[in-house]
Structure 1
Amino acid sequence: MAETGNLGVSAHMRPALPGYRDLVDFGVGYFPTHDGMRPGPLARMLEERGQSAVYFAEHTHIPASRESPYPGGESLPTKYWHCYDLFVALTAAAEATSSLRIGSGVCLVIERDPIVTAKEVASIDHLSGGRFEFGVGAGWNREEMRHHGTDPKQRMAVLRERVEAMQAIWTEEEASYAGRFVTFDRILSYPKPAQRPYPPVLVGGDGPTVLDRVLTFGDAWFPNYSGDAIFGRVAELRNRAERPVEVQMISTPADPAVLERMHEAGVKRANHWLPSGSRSTVERALEQWEAAIADFNGE
């Protein structure tokens, strides 16, 4: 696991906003679409306005014939199939900033080659000076998974093996991994990540077995905020963990009362989804998020 007392988690979650309260800092999630605000200008604006992090979503495509229900309930927004490539967008954000944490929210590891993805993660962490956070997940679209050769029934086992294989590549001079879904023997791959032993792995999802995955190969839990019930699971994670495990949340509403509950629960970072749109559209939503933060801070 990444060392949470070093560059793994705590060292890079520093107060940036005026009136910052202990234990909570703030970031945003964003679908980096080709018809919305570009990743570089967005990241620069977030850094200038005091946000701590930005996380980009990932989908390579959406199958035109789809049976998997959208978790949001309503019609699937077009942003899901209009995203830039995740690591291209992250590179643009990294080049435009100097202190903003940049991350995947989340990277669909079960749809990726682990050797190539390990190279991409290490490269962007190296180029950004150690500012990358690796949010990982399996996703929800079963047809999309199948297009990438993953059986949805095996997706969690595939996720674990691919993350563990990448961790081996990042930490070993001659890396090997032997699993059911991933196997390679004695490979050389540089650069290694700037953060040692590797960027923090934030495990997304809120299913019944997600805490097992967090404790097996993660450094932090990265669920969607889904109401007060989520805080009971935060307590469960803390009770089960035998090492420091951070909690971040995505889908945080612009509500100071929710931020207060996160503060009480020891959530490390609250992240709010911004709309994919023009600069003015993004700024209006960001202002609402900033107002909630200011209210939470008693400003």
Structure 2
Amino acid sequence: MKLGLFGINMGALGQEPQRAVEVAKAAESAGWESVWTGEHFALPDPAIPGSPVSPDTPILEPFVALAHIAAQTTTLRLGTGVTVLPLYQPLALAKQVASLDRVSGGRVLFGVGAGYFEPEFAAFGIALDSRASRVDEMLEALPALWSDQATSIEFQGRTIPGLRAEPRPIRSSGPPLHIGGHGAAATRRAVTHGAGWYGWSMSPDKAAAAIARLQEAQTKYQRPNGLGTLEISITPPHRMPLDAELIARYAELGVTRLILLAPGESHEHQDELLAFVTAAPPTLLG
């Protein structure tokens, strides 16, 4: 089982980025595989139903935060959890991801999703009901832009010809894509485009049901040979107690990676967070 830490760019770690570096370095030393960012550009104030976090929560731009961490770590993988694809333009995003992959030496785990929060889409002038087509087009455009030849891409009714974006990511196919989301479309995309699938706030029972849906989807949709075995990443519910028995339950289901939230309020208290990061691998993995 691989362990990832979620929220390396959020809250106190977003307000004081050097604290995030301290946590990331401690995680690397303790045996964590990865750290993961959250992503929200702005939130309604006052908060409305469905708001993911309080509007006063500091959230650093994910690629900037991960580049800062990359410069001061050596083996720690750097995950986006998740990049909301419909809010981006493919040329700029391809450049951001490739640049981070280069400066980190190929350590990016590129988590992507369709998004759900209508006020954020409205702020960008993007219709929420366009997100499915935008995601599907982005999943085709990004690998094309990372290829070693000039290419044309299709995006929102336009053909953009003769493009080449250098430098490319370390891997010829780009960083591993981890498709986030619980719906049928995310399941399909994970099978057809993903190195992995990422489920949020899932108990072992919910994870088992999601994995069954993914297995069924692999009988319906063709999976390219180059993608290999689909990795399964899960973030357990925030208040679920973490112990070795729970980790073993996820492992028995075939979960590859647990991306953990720090327990309680320790995410906001540096000493408590560092203690959790240091103790978690030996406590949870044995």
- Alpha-carbon separation, structure 2, partners of 1:41 and 1:78: 25
Partner of residue 238, structure 1: 215
Does the aligned pair in 2 maintain the 1:272–1:289 contact within 8 Å? no
Structure 1 residues 99 and 112: alpha-carbon distance in aligned structure 2, compared to 1, 3 A threshold: same
SS at match of 1:63: coil
- Alpha-carbon separation, structure 2, partners of 1:181 and 1:130: 33
SS at match of 1:160: helix
Partner of residue 273, structure 2: 282
> Which residue identity lines up with residue 253 of structure 2 in the other structure?
A
Partner of residue 226, structure 2: none
C-alpha displacement of 1:256: 2.6
Indicate the larger mover: 192-201 or 155-164: 155-164
Does the aligned pair in 2 maintain the 1:214–1:221 contact within 8 Å? yes
SS at match of 1:58: coil
- Alpha-carbon separation, structure 1, partners of 2:54 and 2:278: 23
- Alpha-carbon separation, structure 1, partners of 2:46 and 2:159: 33
> Which residue identity lines up with residue 169 of structure 2 in the other structure?
P
C-alpha displacement of 1:208: 3.8
Partner of residue 168, structure 1: 144
- Alpha-carbon separation, structure 2, partners of 1:163 and 1:123: 18
TM-score by structure 1 length? 0.81
Structure 1 residues 79 and 160: alpha-carbon distance in aligned structure 2, compared to 1, 3 A threshold: farther
- Establish whether residue 96 from structure 1 lines up as the match of residue 81 from structure 2: no
Does the aligned pair in 2 maintain the 1:136–1:204 contact within 8 Å? yes
SS at match of 1:171: coil
C-alpha displacement of 1:29: 0.7
- Alpha-carbon separation, structure 1, partners of 2:78 and 2:103: 12
Partner of residue 284, structure 2: 293
Structure 1 residues 36 and 206: alpha-carbon distance in aligned structure 2, compared to 1, 3 A threshold: farther
The unaligned stretches of length 5 or more in structure 2 are: 224-228
C-alpha displacement of 1:166: 1.0
Indicate the larger mover: 231-240 or 106-115: 231-240
Q: For each residue in 1:6-64, what CA deviation from the matched residue of structure 2 results, as whole angstroms up to 9, or x when unmatched?
A: xxxxxxxxxxxxxxxxxx22111115143356332221111011111111111111133
Partner of residue 58, structure 1: 39
User: Of residues 110, 117, 122 in structure 1, which corresponds to 2:98?
Assistant: 122
Does the aligned pair in 1 maintain the 2:109–2:178 contact within 8 Å? yes
- Alpha-carbon separation, structure 1, partners of 2:148 and 2:217: 29
SS at match of 1:223: strand
RMSD: 2.3
C-alpha displacement of 1:198: 0.8
- Establish whether residue 247 from structure 1 lines up as the match of residue 214 from structure 2: no
> Which residue identity lines up with residue 289 of structure 1 in the other structure?
A
Does the aligned pair in 1 maintain the 2:23–2:274 contact within 8 Å? no
- Establish whether residue 257 from structure 1 lines up as the match of residue 245 from structure 2: yes
C-alpha displacement of 1:96: 0.9
C-alpha displacement of 1:85: 1.1
Partner of residue 272, structure 1: 260
- Establish whether residue 210 from structure 1 lines up as the match of residue 186 from structure 2: yes
User: Of residues 5, 25, 48 in structure 1, which corresponds to 2:2?
Assistant: 25
Does the aligned pair in 1 maintain the 2:188–2:217 contact within 8 Å? no
C-alpha displacement of 1:93: 1.0
TM-score by structure 2 length? 0.84
- Alpha-carbon separation, structure 1, partners of 2:82 and 2:175: 14
Within 5 Å, which residues of 2 pair with 1:42-191? 42-64=23-45, 67=48, 69-70=50-51, 76-78=53-55, 80=57, 82-180=58-156, 183-191=159-167
> Which residue identity lines up with residue 50 of structure 1 in the other structure?
G
> Which residue identity lines up with residue 237 of structure 1 in the other structure?
L
Indicate the larger mover: 58-67 or 185-194: 58-67
